[in-house]
Structure formats: C-alpha cells, structure tokens
C-alpha cells in the first residue's frame, strides 16, 4: 500500500517542513526552543489513533536518535512520546541546557490518560517542549523560576479540562551525545498527587530539580584527558640539579615522544625507561620539568 501511494504521480505534492538542524550563533536559547516547537507544530498532532513511529523506552539514546531522523525524513504527524525523542535530537549540542522527561497520569470519566513532555532547564529558568491536543499542555517557554512552578502550571491546565492528576514522574538529564548507549531515565522521581499537599509537592520537585542540575554538571565535566595533573611525587630516584625549572605544556611533552614516554613510565612507578636503545641512552633530567595542562 505504501509503495502504491509513493509511486502514484497523480497525488498532490505535500510540502515537507524543514527541520531546524542548525542555528545562528547569535540566536538565543529561548528563540531556538521556540523555533523547534514551531517545527513540531508544523508536523501537526497525530489524531489518527495509529502511532507512525515505534518508540521503545528501553532502547539506548543512539537507537532513539535514529528514530528521530526517520521522523524528520517522513514528516508525519507525531504524538507526545515521539515529540520527546525529536526534541532531544534537535537540542543535542546546546551546552548548558538540561533536558529531562516529565510525565503525567490523569483520570477523566473513569478513563486514565498519560502524557509526557520534555522538560528544559537553562540559565536558571525552566520550560518544556512537547505535543498535545491542547496548547497549554505542550510547549512552555523558559520563564519559570523553578521546576515546581512549571509542574503547577501543567496541573492548572489539566484542571481546566476536568482532568484529575494522579501521578507525576520526572526523570534525569539526557545525554547530549547522539551516539551514547545510555538509557533515558524516565521516572526517577514518582509522586502520587493525592498523598501530597501543594507545599510538599513543590518541596519534592525542587529537591529533584537540584539533582538534575548537579548531574548535568557532572556529565559536562566528563572530559577524556590522558593526564589531568603531573606532579613530582612518589619515590623517584632522579638526581637533583641546580638548573632552572622549565614549564612545559602537554603539547610540548607530546611532541618529544622519548622524554614524554620516559616521564610516563617513571610516573607509573617503573623507575626507569625500558624501551629502545635510543631511549636508554638518553639522560633526561626530569626533575627540571613541570607539566602544565
């Protein structure tokens, strides 16, 4: 059926929206988020009752990013869960921004409904990206001073539509690496709304928001470096000299392979360089060097 539709040249040409894959360096983060949300709105909400893209929450981020590419390629209507994955893909690389899932379970006329949005934290403000049948249950600009203020605003919107919020689930920051094999933490914090007062809800949510900011900073600091520090420590049997100490950068030492490798072996406790004959003949006095990184 799909092939028949695609190969029919008499079908009207449907314009395909262009995804905001790159932004001007001068464009602010709030403007970028608004542009991403406008793109999602152009795709439209999927009212057909059939989900066009399979989203498995247990898949790693790398696999989910491939699904996001399919969404952009096909440009079909999406639902809230698909909007989360698409939002993560389009906001990857925006350093200083934390993305985390926020989901709601509500009850209306004895029927339970589930909804999820992509929470955003940047510059001390909170907001959200998403898709919904209702405009006030999806996109939220970066104007909320706390995460609890954002959650309360969603609750206020649900009351307008006579939905009773049963549970609220908030995850942890999502990696910016599109090739990561990490999994999205969808429900690190689960709150049963009927068991919490408004004050208790705000306290629990804001405490979790602090964890989100902390873990986001920890991920940002994960930089692979061969040496973070090189100091003259341990028991080295290196003769002391009265020559002035020289300060070398990491690049300087890396360019001098023999001296660098000898320093590495000494630092690891081998005591002396064991390698080629040329390295044995060298008598580099490492006490006069100090690596600066």
Q: Which of 80, 148, 176, 259 is catalytic?
A: 80
| Contact present, 185 and 172 (Cβ < 8 Å) | yes
Active-site residue 202, yes or no?
Answer: no
Distances in Å between the Cα of 260 and the Cα atoms of 249, 275, 291 are 11, 13, 10
Phi, psi dihedrals of residue 114, rounded to the nearest 5°: -125, 140
Given the structure tokens 């790159």, which residue do they identify?
A: 22
Backbone φ, ψ for residue 108 (5° rounding) = -145, 120
What are residue 217's phi and psi, to 5 degrees? -70, -35
Q: Is the alpha carbon torsion for 141, 147, 152, 155 positive or negative?
A: positive
Question: Structure pTM?
Answer: 0.72
DSSP state of 251: H
- Please indicate whether residue 242 is annotated as part of the active site: no
Helix (H, G, I), strand (E, B) or coil at 45: strand
Structure confidence by residue, pLDDT tens digits, 197-228: 999 999 999 999 999 999 877 766 653 333 33
CA distance 203 to 148: 8
Cβ-based neighbour number of residue 127 at 10 Å: 22
Q: Which residue has the tokens 């096909």?
A: 74
Provide the pLDDT for residue 2. 82
The pLDDT of residue 57 is: 93
Phi, then psi, of 140 in degrees rounded to 5: -130, 125
Query: Token pair for residue 102?
Result: 């926020």
- Complete DSSP assignment for 198-229: HHHHHHHHHHHHHHHHHHHHHHHT----S-S-
Nearest partner of 86 among 47, 145, 44, judged by Cα? 44
φ and ψ of 229, to 5 deg: -155, 145
* Among 62, 75, 132, 287, the one annotated catalytic: 132
User: Which position among 115, 163, 176, 208 bears the catalytic label?
Assistant: 115
The pair of structure tokens assigned to 220 is 């940002």
Q: How far is Cα 101 from Cα 123, in angstroms, rounded to an integer?
A: 18
pLDDT along the chain (293 residues), means of 10: 84 86 92 97 92 93 96 94 97 93 96 97 96 95 96 96 96 94 95 95 96 81 41 40 43 46 49 44 47 47
Burial of 213 (0-12, 13-18, 19+ CB in 10 A): middle
The pLDDT assigned to 10 comes to 85
State yes or no: is 122 an active-site residue: no
Burial group, residue 73, by CB count within 10 angstroms (0-12, 13-18, 19+): exposed
pLDDT, one tens digit per residue, over 44-59 is 999 998 889 999 999 9
């Amino acid at each position: 059926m799909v092939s028949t539709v695609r190969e029919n040249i008499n079908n009207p040409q449907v314009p395909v929206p262009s995804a905001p894959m790159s932004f001007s360096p001068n464009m602010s983060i709030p403007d970028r988020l608004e542009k991403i949300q406008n793109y999602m709105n152009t795709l439209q909400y999927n009212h057909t009752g059939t989900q066009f893209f399979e989203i498995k929450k247990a898949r790693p981020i790398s696999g989910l990013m491939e699904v996001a590419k399919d969404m952009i390629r096909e440009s079909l209507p999406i639902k809230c869960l698909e909007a989360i994955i698409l939002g993560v893909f389009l906001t990857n690389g925006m350093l200083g921004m934390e993305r985390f899932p926020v989901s709601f379970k509500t009850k209306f006329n004895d029927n339970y409904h589930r909804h999820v949005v992509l929470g955003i934290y940047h510059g001390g403000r909170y907001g959200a990206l998403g898709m919904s049948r209702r405009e006030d249950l999806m996109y939220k600009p970066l104007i909320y001073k706390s995460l609890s203020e954002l959650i309360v605003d969603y609750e206020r919107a649900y009351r307008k539509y006579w939905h009773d919020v049963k549970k609220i689930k908030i995850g942890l920051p999502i990696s910016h690496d599109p090739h990561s094999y990490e999994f999205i933490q969808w429900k690190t914090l689960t709150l049963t709304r009927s068991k919490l007062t408004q004050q208790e809800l705000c306290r629990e949510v804001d405490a979790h928001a602090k964890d989100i900011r902390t873990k986001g900073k920890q991920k940002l600091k994960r930089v692979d470096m061969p040496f973070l520090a090189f100091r003259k420590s341990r028991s080295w049997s290196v003769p002391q000299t009265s020559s002035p100490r020289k300060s070398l950068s990491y690049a300087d030492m890396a360019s001098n392979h023999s001296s660098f490798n000898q320093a590495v072996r000494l630092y690891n406790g081998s005591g002396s360089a064991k390698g080629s004959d040329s390295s044995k003949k060298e008598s580099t006095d490492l006490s006069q060097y100090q690596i600066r990184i």
